[in-house]
Amino acid sequence: MRSPIKNLKKKTNSISIVKNLIPKGSIIESHAFYDGSNEFNLAESDRFVVANANKYVVYEFWSCALENPQRIASIAEYMFPILNEQTFDILQKDWASYRDPYMRSALFFLLNRCSSLGMISHGEFNINNYNPFALSDLKRFKVKNFHLEGDNNNKIEDSVGSVDSSTHVFMHAGKFAFNFFEHGKTESLEESKFNHDKLLFNLSTKDKKSVVVYDYHPRLKTYNKNFDIIYIDESGKQASETNAKEIILHNV
């Protein structure tokens, strides 16, 4: 099942290797949940996924999509003709101020599909990803083996471990950052930020099984005392560090 939401800012080709690491029948606690593409793939492949949406607007969109995706799609179809570069820029700033959650969810979908980055609050106007297939994916959205949680009060790096007997998964932790450089950066409504060093420290010391996927960064191999490391090339196959585009840290 395809997700109706795109994430063009963070892409990963690691899903096949992640499936090999986590056996069928496992409970997976996914963090920093956004577009859901990989989580739904895991859920449809006989793993049970508990998805933690750490941003309220993400939680709200998926709550509405699980309840009534056709309503979101009908509002989106009605709103799409008014979109142009000017209205798109205005809505990126104001969309969350609408009172109705289904209107906000429809704008979430529209802005995502018409953003060059697949984000809601930023990205250039580009309608290439808004098409009948996208609307069909939304209207037919239904996923098994899946439970959505909202966790907006706790920092991600401090909240890992809420589900017993689970494997913690960050399907795309993005680019590794030395967090003292992160201070002062603008945080969008839909993107989850976290302290990378603290996250990896907590995952390695809380005796929890975990799988964390990053874009390749040489600093990450220094965590080899606490995690096994798999390098992945651009086609999603296991590779040498020289050809790595992504890196998986795991202790499963």
Helix (H, G, I), strand (E, B) or coil at 196: helix
Alpha carbon distance 214, 245 (integer Å): 9
Alpha carbon distance 108, 121 (integer Å): 9
Closest-CA residue to 175 (of 162, 191, 164, 160): 191
Low-confidence ranges of the chain (pLDDT < 70): 152-154, 159, 161-165, 178-187, 206
Closest-CA residue to 37 (of 65, 77, 4, 64): 4
208 contact partners, CB below 8 Å, separation of at least 6: 160, 161, 166, 167, 168
pLDDT tens sequence across 37-88: 999 999 999 999 999 998 999 999 999 999 999 999 999 999 999 999 999 9
Answer whether 0.75 is exceeded by the pTM: yes
75 with 103: CB under 8 angstroms? yes
What's domain 15-49+143-250's architecture? 3-Layer(aba) Sandwich (3.40)
91 contact partners, CB below 8 Å, separation of at least 6: 83, 107, 110, 111
Please report the pLDDT score of residue 193 as a whole number.
84
Please report the pLDDT score of residue 164 as a whole number.
62
Termini Cα distance of the chain = 26
Q: Which residue has the tokens 């179809």?
A: 77
Residues of the chain with CATH 3.40.50.150: 15-49+143-250
Please report the pLDDT score of residue 183 as a whole number.
44
Please report the pLDDT score of residue 34 as a whole number.
95
